[in-house]
A = this chain, B = another copy of it.
Amino acid sequence: MTTRPAPKRSGAAAPRAAKAAANAAVDARYADDLKLWVVLARAHAAVERHVSRDIAEHGLSIAEFGILELLYHKGPQLLGDIQRRILVSSGGITFLVDRLEAKGLVAREACPDDRRARFAVLTPAGRTMMKRIFPRHAAAVSRALSGLTRDERQAATRLLRTLGLAAAGESSPGTD
């Protein structure tokens, strides 16, 4: 990660106005939407970097933490339900739970009603860890979002929920 103010060098200046004019028709039509997609991606990346750094200090990836958080708050869950909830592939959920199991934070338990299915449950060690790191994680998330006021955060939550639901539902029914 190098981020340094570039030394003086005649910049890669391109005749912006002319180029933009050339594609003006298309650009003008969709420019606002493209802009929204860009700022959405950047906001997500920026917040994710904060969150990820916090979580990485405990040796966990975001997806791993997502599973632990789900189990911590909602109790044991079927692997398939976790998969749909945190949006990973079927192979991904096996891989993630394997790793959490290897770390001793999660265990698999049989489902009495369906022997194909397995529950993931927090081990005592996993629960202890979440108790310890969750408040700190929540604070890190809050800090990452602190660029918005309380009202703005509420407004953003509403807009993003609407956007997410619409985009998830539209012509993309399967999460797999």
CB within 8 Å of B: which residues of A? Answer: 1-7, 9-10, 12, 14-16, 19-20, 23, 26-27, 29-30, 32-37, 39-51, 53, 73-78, 80-81, 84, 87, 89-90, 111, 113-114, 117, 119, 131, 134-135, 138-148, 152-157, 159-168, 170-175
If A44-B40, A44-B41 touch, whether A3 touches B167 (CB-CB below 8 Å) is no
Q: How far is the CB of A159 from chain B (nearest CB, A)?
A: 5
Shortest distance from the beta carbon of A5 to any chain B beta carbon, whole Å? 6
A97 to B141, CA, bound (A): 34
Among A42, A135, A163, which residue has the most Cβ atoms of chain B within 10 A?
A163
Minimum C-beta distance from A27 to chain B (A): 7
Please tell me if the beta carbons of B138 and A34 are within 8 angstroms of each other in the complex: yes
Are A50 and B167 neighbours in the complex by a CB distance under 8 Å? yes
- B153 near A33: Cβ-Cβ < 8 Å: yes
A19 neighbours in B (Cβ, 8 Å): 73-75
Number of copies: 2
Instruction: Enumerate the 4 nearest inter-chain pairs by beta-carbon distance, A residue then B residue, closest first.
Output: A147-B166, A14-B75, A43-B164, A30-B138
B23, A138: Cβ atoms closer than 8 Å = no
Residue of A37, A131, A138 most packed against chain B (CB within 10 A): A37
Of chain B, the residue at the smallest CB distance from A26 is B135
Provide the bound-state CA to CA distance between A11 and B42, in Å.
38
- Which residues of B are found within 8 Å of A14, using beta-carbon distances? 74-76
Known: A7-B135, A26-B135. Is A32-B154 also a contact (CB below 8 A)? Answer: yes
